[in-house]
Structure 1
């Protein structure tokens, strides 16, 4: 594993050298691997704005982060053992509570597994191809502060895992995504978002107040959405409620009457006819052959998370090459060296 991590670091450095002149730092808390840093906060504190952090998959959480610098943070993805040609080391990089503060504008987190709340108190933050897991003692999975703009939540798997505990006895506003007041250009596209708990009207997948606006497209949703002044295109509601006001609602599909039938919307659709329903944790939300969601979205594209110009990517593999196969011999010689085999795949 130590040798593999060294090869990985070398490959990452070579493959990204032409794309950035910023420092690349390895974050790795596996006890047998050398690394620049073993916690995300230490890596942040030791970096300068514009640096890139590569977080290696591990069984241990990398802890919390309070960010005041612009950083590009890459993890390996998630569901790595389920989908083919993901990573040779099929272990996710898990983090705790993450907060982006003033100074962290234009940061990116991708390929990360969040096990606690993430908060954006700064503008121009991108969350791309991540897995967000909800716990019963959180008010929201993703919290967007007041008076921020250009927050991108895209190609991610956001799931409220606790479906039996009465959240309302803890917090009245347990939400997957909570948008603050006076927020503009909050982009939520090509995600799987599920909040299975439905005993309280406040347990929403997304809440955005009437002073803010959301660009909500190509999502697969289970739960309640309340948004205003927003674009609502090409989504699939497996189950739930949609409300709010002053929205542009077109080419969506609902299991009930969430969207009506005007403007290309479809209602009362049997969801067993829409998705493959079997396969990997995220692959089962691909459209089945003959699905009513095929070519039913805006501009003739598919509805759902795999539709549109920037479809969901299985396992949240980041937009960097990944080593999906690695074999190293346990012995070598001065004449032959140490034989290794590496297979690398690029990702868009």
Structure 2
């Protein structure tokens, strides 16, 4: 199996290299196995510290945390996905690529993290993409624990399985702007500290699910300003939404949060919307046949995480080739192996 891991990440490396030949591919492996080769590290911070701007770091799946990261250079960090045991046929190795707290600090503009299971994620730099991750408890946009609120812009948070997302502007002078929050599943909500709303600008919140699939949700809410809010589903009847200076349309709520103007609908129970049942934790949010959320969004789009131009991808599979099946047989002194791969755009 050790050799399979090596082959897996070598395949990914060779796929990635032609895209940007100056990039160095680095591997993290903390399984305790002896791994041959260069650019292999046991912690994410060590891989980062050895990296140059633009490098790619693959977190090999072990189910053991690679620790915290303070990122100060633009990097791409790629993991294995999550809920893989409940979403069969996507990855051969169903273990997760886990980290502790990840902070994108000054100098990390242009970074991207995908396919990882993280602790708290702090976005304290501009031009950062957080895509197809499972994060708990919180994502903070415009925050670095060592300095507090910071100005950031051009942030993308999409196709993630999250608990809660905070916009964290300090004031109008320390602003958070041009943020796309789309196609996420959030048990908690999307919120802003009281008094900081003036620091928000050009926020898009679209095709998210807020709250649990059964209508539960701890602190499920949308509390922002200067935002376009559309095609979302709020599953909890007691969740809060204060309009402020927002344009909101084509949203569904289990209660009366969005009202009925501008294509918004209310009092629709989540059981009428989603497949639920014994599906995977994220697959449960797929729309059931005949769901009122099918085709009723802006321009006829589906509502929720699986709708729109960039639907949620089950298990947070990163958009790189993956191995989903491996078969081998021995004939005399010959080992015959078949590796099945797929792309994940």
> Does TM, scored on the shorter chain, surpass 0.5?
yes
Residue 344 of structure 2 corresponds to 347
Q: Partners in 2 of 1:226 and 1:261 — Cα distance?
A: 19
Match of 2:76 among 62, 72, 78: 72
Partner SS for 2:224: strand
Partner deviation per Cα, 1:64-117 (whole Å, 9 max, x = no partner)? 111111101100100011113211110010100111111110000000001x21
Residue 216 of structure 2 corresponds to none
Residue 215 of structure 2 corresponds to none
Aligned-residue offset at 1:47: 0.7
Residue 158 of structure 2 corresponds to 154
Residue 109 of structure 1 corresponds to 113
Match of 1:119 among 119, 122, 126: 122
Partner SS for 2:8: helix
Residue 258 of structure 1 corresponds to 257
Verify the 8 A CA contact 2:102 2:122 in the aligned structure 1: yes
TM-score, L = length of structure 2: 0.88
Query: 1:159-198 alignment to 2 at 5 Å?
Result: 159=163, 176-181=165-170, 182-195=175-188
Partner SS for 1:5: helix
The number of equivalent residue pairs is 316
Q: Partners in 1 of 2:85 and 2:287 — Cα distance?
A: 22
Verify the 8 A CA contact 2:209 2:304 in the aligned structure 1: yes
Aligned-residue offset at 1:329: 5.0
Q: Partners in 1 of 2:93 and 2:2 — Cα distance?
A: 12
Q: Partners in 2 of 1:193 and 1:127 — Cα distance?
A: 14
Partner SS for 1:83: coil
Aligned-residue offset at 1:53: 0.7
Residue 45 of structure 2 corresponds to 41
Query: Are 1:24 and 2:25 counterparts?
Result: yes
Q: Partners in 1 of 2:126 and 2:330 — Cα distance?
A: 49
Residue 144 of structure 1 corresponds to 142
Partner deviation per Cα, 1:215-253 (whole Å, 9 max, x = no partner)? 100000021210101000100000111114110101000
Query: Are 1:238 and 2:235 counterparts?
Result: yes
TM-score, L = length of structure 1: 0.87
Give RMSD over aligned pairs. Answer: 1.7
Residue 228 of structure 1 corresponds to 225
Structure 2 residue ranges without an equivalent (≥5):
144-149, 212-219
Q: Partners in 2 of 1:344 and 1:332 — Cα distance?
A: 27
Q: Partners in 1 of 2:76 and 2:332 — Cα distance?
A: 37
Residue 147 of structure 2 corresponds to none
Structure 1 residue ranges without an equivalent (≥5):
135-139, 160-174, 196-203
Aligned-residue offset at 1:60: 1.1
Partner deviation per Cα, 1:125-182 (whole Å, 9 max, x = no partner)? 0000000122xxxxx44343231111111000013xxxxxxxxxxxxxxx54333241
Q: Partners in 2 of 1:150 and 1:17 — Cα distance?
A: 26
Residue 286 of structure 1 corresponds to 286
Over 3 Å counting, the alpha-carbon distance change for 1:332 and 1:100 in structure 2 is farther
Match of 1:211 among 199, 203, 206: 199
